Amino acid sequence: MTPTPIVEMTDISITFPGVKALDSVSFRMFPGEVHSLMGENGAGKSTLIKALTGVYGIDGGTITLDGDVLVVNGPAQAQAAGISTVYQEVNLLPNLSVAENIMLGREPRRAGLVDWRATRERAAVLLERLNLDIDPASQLSDHSLAVQQLVAIARATDVQAKVLILDEPTSSLDAGEVAELFRVIRGLKKDGVAILFVSHFLDQVYEIADRLTVLRNGSLVGEYLTTDILRIELVHKMIGKELAALDTLEAKTRTATAESEEVPYLRATGLGRKGSVEPFDLRIGEGEVVGLAGLLGSGRTEVARLLTGADHADSGDVAIRGVRKRLRTPRIALKERIAYSSEDRKKEGIVEDLSVRDNIVLALQADRGWFRRISKKRQDELALSYIQALNIRPANPDALVGNLSGGNQQKVLLARWLAVAPRLLVLDEPTRGIDVGAKAEIQKLVSSLADEGMSVVFISAELEEVLRLSHRIAVMRDRKKVADLANEDITVGQIMSLIASGAEA
């Protein structure tokens, strides 16, 4: 192993208004090594990458590249210095050719004009280096996402990259494509490129990474050699609880409903969707809270989307009270009284420019159709009763939802779904990014709704929360359901080992 790091970030701090996004974090990369940056949502991975690529200015600390202090103001400078980045969403132009995409902005010129032949030739050389056998003149959008990802890497490697940053490169690839990508990564590694690999898939990290750095809440937890750290230890470090402390945590507050219950409210059999989540079975009883545990990207959101018609399944089926149903759209699912509160509150939840009242009545009104308008009086009754019941602040039905705090927006969303009187409520990260008080209120609400007979699917990155609320817990890992446990004498530690290893407990 090369003793001198090529990149050395020392005591990096970045502050956003009100939040310390990075708190003197140190990070280093060695040539010819794959280094994985690990951490849950909001740990600061993206912020650290953006500090390195010059997207964010740093408030404290130093970055050196090859021993020289590096001051970057923007991605173009970082790239010129030899730091290339391939982002999660492929940042290419699908309607241009492969060669144009690889050489965009750096096309060889002759007499001021682009030399297209040289452009294609140079692109072909780069593609060959990655063993990628495609026609440089073909249109990018004609290729699979995996190939596009590789084209993006080809583009990134053209600039004599010393450091290559791959941010979630495998999130939309299948197993074969991942293998192809890893082959390319190993090749680049041999050429002495330092690679920063970010992924939520533990299996992949353990397969490709030589070194790991774990972040949590904007702070450095530690740097480890992959061979030195067990998965279970890694997960603990990411989530932030020590094994010993976890096992003593009192967890069980609920017990599973009797498995013998003849017909569950919903039974999914072999439900799956290619590229999203592998076929799984799931039963959700009446008045039962089923928790979905797993890391980000483990498939927990995908399960929720299949159960609620947000995505449609391409295998398996769903029976509601024993009757087979096809939940092709959210509208159909809502007709079956299945409501889905998405984890992406802003993009898939609230309608920002509408009032609290409008947001609350939206799903109910959609169900009634546009002609049968809910009367103004009834709208006000609904809005005010939910504002009161859920303690929504400000208590003003005319306030624009976009101006509310995250916690209150979440409550408005809950009110929208509760207004349709769902039989099954699927909550994806309902407590993320909201303050402790609102969190407790939402937990209490879920628990009392279940007592009243509503079935709930509860997804959260916080295992304690899942454990506290759920009757049963399904554990997801790498887009597979790996365990289904009744919540009896289960500890957070046990669930963590399942998340880490996937083996049955």
| Cα(149)–Cα(132) distance, integer angstroms | 11
Q: How far is the CB of 395 from other proteins (least distance, A)?
A: 17
Give the closest residue to 240 by CA, choosing from 210, 219, 224, 209.
219
Please say whether the beta carbons of 500 and 483 come within 8 A.
no
Please say whether the beta carbons of 93 and 100 come within 8 A.
yes
Q: What b-and-e string marks burial along 190-201, b requiring 16 or more CB atoms within 10 Å of the CB? A: eeebbbbbbbbb
Contacts with 436 (C-beta within 8 Å, 6 or more apart), sequence order: none
Looking at the DSSP bridge assignments, the partners of residue 441 are none
Can you tell me which of 8, 27, 28, 44 binds other proteins, judged by CB under 8 A?
Answer: 44
| Cα(277)–Cα(265) distance, integer angstroms | 22
Can you tell me which of 134, 263, 354, 384 binds other proteins, judged by CB under 8 A?
Answer: 354
Extract the tokens encoding 496.
Answer: 């963590």
Stretch touching other proteins by CB under 8 A, among 72-80, 238-246, 355-363, 487-495: 355-363
Instruction: Determine the size of the site formed for other proteins (CB under 8 A).
Output: 52
Question: Looking at residue 258, what DSSP letter applies?
Answer: P
328 is an interface residue for other proteins by CB under 8 A: no
Instruction: State whether residue 59 is helix, strand or coil.
Output: coil
Q: Which of residues 161-190 bind other proteins (CB under 8 A)?
A: 167-168
Extract the tokens encoding 310.
Answer: 């947000």
353 is an interface residue for other proteins by CB under 8 A: yes
287 is an interface residue for other proteins by CB under 8 A: no
Can you tell me which of 189, 237, 416, 471 binds other proteins, judged by CB under 8 A?
Answer: 416
Stretch touching other proteins by CB under 8 A, among 358-366, 388-396, 464-472, 489-497: 358-366
Site string for other proteins, 65-94 (x = CB under 8 A): -----------------------x------
21 is an interface residue for other proteins by CB under 8 A: yes
| Cα(151)–Cα(143) distance, integer angstroms | 10
217 is an interface residue for other proteins by CB under 8 A: no
Complete DSSP assignment for 223-236: EEEGGGS-HHHHHH
62 is an interface residue for other proteins by CB under 8 A: no
105 is an interface residue for other proteins by CB under 8 A: no
Number of Cβ within a 10 Å radius of residue 381:
12
> CB-wise, 19 or 323, nearer to other proteins?
19
Site string for other proteins, 368-407 (x = CB under 8 A): xxxxxxx-------------------------------x-
> CB-wise, 158 or 367, nearer to other proteins?
367
Extract the tokens encoding 221.
Answer: 């937890």
Please say whether the beta carbons of 35 and 48 come within 8 A.
no
Stretch touching other proteins by CB under 8 A, among 173-181, 187-195, 247-255, 340-348: 340-348
Give the closest residue to 445 by CA, choosing from 365, 363, 386.
386
312 is an interface residue for other proteins by CB under 8 A: no
Cα angle 29-32-35, degrees, rounded to a multiple of 5 = 40
352 is an interface residue for other proteins by CB under 8 A: yes
Q: How far is the CB of 304 from other proteins (least distance, A)?
A: 11
Give the closest residue to 460 by CA, choosing from 37, 38, 19, 41.
41
213 is an interface residue for other proteins by CB under 8 A: no
Can you tell me which of 256, 366, 384, 486 binds other proteins, judged by CB under 8 A?
Answer: 366
> CB-wise, 41 or 62, nearer to other proteins?
41
Q: Which of residues 432-451 bind other proteins (CB under 8 A)?
A: 433
Looking at the DSSP bridge assignments, the partners of residue 280 are 271
Question: Which spans of this chain sit near other proteins (rule: CB under 8 A)?
Answer: 16-19, 21, 39-47, 88, 167-168, 308, 310, 329-331, 333-335, 340, 342, 347-354, 358, 361-363, 365-374, 406, 416, 433
